[in-house]
Amino acid sequence: MKRFAFAGRICLITGAASGIGAAVALELAKRRAVLALLDVDTDGLERVAAVAREMGAEVTTYKVDLSDGGDRLDLAAEIASRHGGIDLLINNAGVTLMGTFEQNRMSDFDWLLEINLHAVIRMTKAFLPQLLARPGAHLVNVSSLFGLIAPPGQVAYVTSKFGVRGFTEALRHEIEPLGVGVTVVHPGGIKTSIATNARLSGADPDGEQAEQARRFEQTALTVPAEEAARQIVAAIQARRPRLLISKEARAGDWLIRLTPTRWWQITQRFAKRRGAL
């Protein structure tokens, strides 16, 4: 499959108002891509769109709440009418939920799964006909380091990101022979607002969930979103099937292969020695 050329290609990005999504949008604007940006945060979306337009990019924005369970067929029809279809779909939008599984309310668990997993599936289903119709199209689904390893206190998030990984890898085997490239992305610690904006679920009288978010912010945020975006765009261009971003992601991938059942105890001992716990 030929390298992906961005100039003039129609690129749809979810979660484009901030973090990795915003950074990818601006990285694609540099490459003269046509941007269709989607988020529920209209203010953030318009800020990103304004910067991209200043860079010379053609941009349309769409306010969509990915938690509402919609099939996105109307959105696909609207974008097909406006642009004739898309060449690149980046399913990036994601949220997280603090607390143990015992603490988590099922309504919050379902909310996270709808955004992190079901929306990826729904968006892919709605736009797959357009991708299949465009020679050399590409699909990117953003999983996580937690789509490789499964730490406690992140059961909902881990469930969703392992789901994204499995969905993407199985789908690749179906659609790559049909001419659509597929990349699954596993970021480790990226400097975005996902931990700051995490939903606290269930009773937390001792502030344990808030402290968990604070520790994550302090210890895991290692790669700027702009650098993550550069790596994602390079992976798309090269048609890489999998991208690990950050030392944490590469170490996690190595460790889970080395010791699938003992990796958590090993990381706990290492963290205690570093004084991170």
Give the chain's length.
277
State yes or no: is 157 an active-site residue: yes
In this structure, the number of other CB atoms found within 10 A of the CB of residue 40 comes to: 17
Question: What is the amino acid identity at position 51?
Answer: V
For residue 191, give the amino acid letter. Answer: K
Amino acid at 161: K
Region for 181 from its dihedrals, namely left if φ exceeds 0, alpha if ψ lies in -120 to 50, beta otherwise: beta
From 6, 109, 146, 157, active-site residue: 157
d(CA 155, CA 10): 35
What's the farthest any 2 CA atoms get from each other in the chain?
58
**d(C-alpha 71, C-alpha 223), whole Å:** 33
Catalytic positions are 157
